[in-house]
Chain A
């Protein structure tokens, strides 16, 4: 590819979205989270800790910004309606937003990794290979969602994290990460793998509902939906379609319409063209209290 060729045929080389030349087939894992039903109970976060062998770092390290929660509940407060410019934490209560790796289609973290430890999989996931990671932390710096977590300590050898008998509850399908590697939400890739093996052995594709992520499984209000976006029968596909959120657009058509729509679906920081795979459904209630 010479420079002249590149300049003359720029329209051929220019890509808006990586899926344009490699369509996801037969799988594209995606999620939708209904913020209206989310109560901020943190069950998803706890389930994630249990499923993915995430170390509980303790209060001190947490305060130093060394927390490891792949799934975190972000809290937002509206302005104090009755008293503008008033209290920081007004009476209507917090709004919650579960935030984890958005498995971007054009992931900013992937392009900056110096050793290609984080890659895109054919299923549209953003993989993280611990053995390959050298801990440069560029990916975390470049992540717009700040959902990558770094192992500052060798937690497996730290008795306060997993005391001897607690080792027994570690999930054997997930690596226990050592010091100096980056980690993040994987959409429970071990469950995806297992389901794909079963499906392949039976000569079929993975059915809708066959895979549940740990957070989805634990959610008491069913706020989280996970599935195959390519499968037109899947719940996640239907939700994305109903909300008119298209994965390969950085500006959704519905947002361009005059007067707007009543649809609640949106993706976070869509304008950065990372094309995240998680759609959030806006909260309906102005005040929850």
Chain B
């Protein structure tokens, strides 16, 4: 009698459990459907750089005119246009280390002590006041990556400027936008992971002329066997930038 009762209870429990699982499964299905339809509706957005990517306006202690320093010459009126100074003249650490660093005040003074024409303008005066007081200018960070990201400026400069002979402004501009037309720099790209990956997924030729001899390493970065292009030598495999997780995630 007791055994019979127990079997019945067992059956009931089993039934309940099945029902519970079924309910959970159907919830999952509905959820999946909603998620997929939501994705389909959003998938019309194709551009990676949207106006929303524009970073906040950063208030700097001195309103530094990037356009005046790095902008193009103005052939008609040389006093108005830019001076086409290479980004790396002031941002000198970008090609030497992982971080670009902030140009020291000494760098500004180095030139400006011999430029008498702007010596008495308010911003330059402020510059020299700080110099005389031996105080650094407290520049604010505009492009701030999260702490868990391992980004290396040096590698990118070496890759694009030194190996591929791209103009510095173009190479820097991939991530920093059109700085030569800005006064105070402002973030123009989203600098999100998807945005980084959108470039690392492109078929860059890793074995650039005069580039690093990396042997068959390039193949590995793709995570798949790349389809060998017709008539190409095995060394000329087109591959992406590094894209395994630990390359960028600390």
Contacts and interface: CB of A to CB of B under 8 A. Distances in A.
A and B part of one assembly: yes
Interface of A: 21-22, 25-26, 119, 121-122, 125, 127, 129-132, 172-176, 186, 189-190, 193, 197, 200-201, 203
Contacts of B247: 121, 193
A197 B152 contact: yes
Given A25-B220, A173-B250, A175-B148, A200 B214 contact: yes
B244 A131 contact: no
Contacts of B244: 119, 121-122, 127
A26 B245 contact: no
Contacts of B148: 130-131, 175
A3 B132 CA distance: 79
B227 to A, nearest CB: 15
Contacts of A122: 220-221, 223, 244
Contacts of A197: 98, 152, 154-155
B249 interface: yes
30 contacts: A21-B225, A22-B220, A25-B217, A25-B219, A26-B215, A26-B216, A26-B217, A119-B244, A121-B246, A121-B247, A122-B221, A122-B223, A125-B246, A127-B249, A129-B245, A130-B148, A172-B147, A173-B150, A173-B250, A175-B249, A176-B147, A186-B246, A190-B250, A193-B150, A193-B246, A197-B155, A200-B158, A200-B212, A201-B154, A201-B155
B103 interface: no
A56 B150 CA distance: 25
B190 to A, nearest CB: 16
By secondary structure, the B interface counts as loop
Given A25-B220, A129-B245, A197-B155, 16 more contacts: A21-B225, A26-B215, A26-B216, A26-B217, A119-B245, A121-B246, A122-B221, A127-B244, A129-B246, A131-B249, A174-B250, A175-B147, A186-B246, A193-B150, A200-B155, A200-B214
Chain A interface, >50% SS class? loop
B213 interface: yes
B246 A189 contact: yes
Nearest to B148: A175
B158 A175 contact: no
B236 to A, nearest CB: 16
B249 A130 contact: yes
Max chain B Cβ within 10 angstroms of own Cβ: one of A21, A25, A127, A201:
A201
Contacts of B246: 121, 125, 127, 129, 186, 189, 193
A131 B225 CA distance: 28
B21 to A, nearest CB: 18
Contacts of B213: 203
A189 B246 CA distance: 8
Given A25-B217, A197-B152, A121 B250 contact: no
Best-buried of B214, B223, B246 by chain A (most CB within 10 Å): B246
Contacts of A21: 225
Contacts of A125: 246
Contacts of B225: 21
B150 to A, nearest CB: 6
Contacts of B223: 122
A207 to B, nearest CB: 15
A269 to B, nearest CB: 25
